[in-house]
Amino acid sequence: MPSRALRADAERNRCLLLSAAQDVFAERGIDAPLDEIAKRAGVGNATLYRRFPTRCELVAAVFTNVVRDVNAALERALASPDPWLAFVDHVTYLCELQAGNRALADLLANGTHCDTELNSLRAHARDGTINLIERAQTSGELRPDFRYDDLTLILMSNAGLLQRTGDSNPTAWRRHLGYVLDGLRTPA
């Protein structure tokens, strides 16, 4: 059993690695080089591989909390009295998360096959989102032909737009999303 000092050291390294991984994934996407993460954390590659033997484990450790936040936002959206506004706000929130984090842009659009807990949280997010869509359709404001998979298309195109405008025109995605959302509203 490791001594208290060794455990504290391991905990410190884990924390440094997660914080570095969050930054490097945000800047360079989910395929960012792992040695860059170790370097940013100020630890050796061996320490990184001891804490997180696979990329999947590192991705899961970084993003599980984010998907938890998405689920909490979904709960609030489902409790909102205006189903259309709740839908619009939630889609905007997801696109906003993508804008702040390149790795998340990939993760939200494409998913990952990494970790059971992350995947079950994502499955929960999917169910909540389908409820949100159906509520907005029942209220008559979201067009009836909109499907859950269409939201994935929106997140993918948003990721592509962010990739091309993120630095030069950081609010371009809002303008584009505005047109898309107007296209999703049932004609008055």
Q: Give contact residues for a copy of itself (rule: CB under 8 A).
A: 109-110, 146, 150, 153-154, 156-165, 172, 175-176, 178-184, 187-188
**Nearer to a copy of itself among residue 48 and residue 105 (C-beta):** 105
**Nearer to a copy of itself among residue 75 and residue 149 (C-beta):** 149
**Nearer to a copy of itself among residue 33 and residue 111 (C-beta):** 111
Q: In whole angstroms, what is the distance from residue 101 CA to residue 80 CA? A: 27
Q: In whole angstroms, what is the distance from residue 173 CA to residue 98 CA? A: 10
| Among 95, 123, 88, 120, CA closest to 109 | 95
Minimum distance from residue 169 beta carbon to a copy of itself (Å): 8
Minimum distance from residue 105 beta carbon to a copy of itself (Å): 9
**Nearer to a copy of itself among residue 55 and residue 143 (C-beta):** 143
Q: Are 67 and 59 in contact (CB under 8 A)?
A: no
Minimum distance from residue 124 beta carbon to a copy of itself (Å): 23
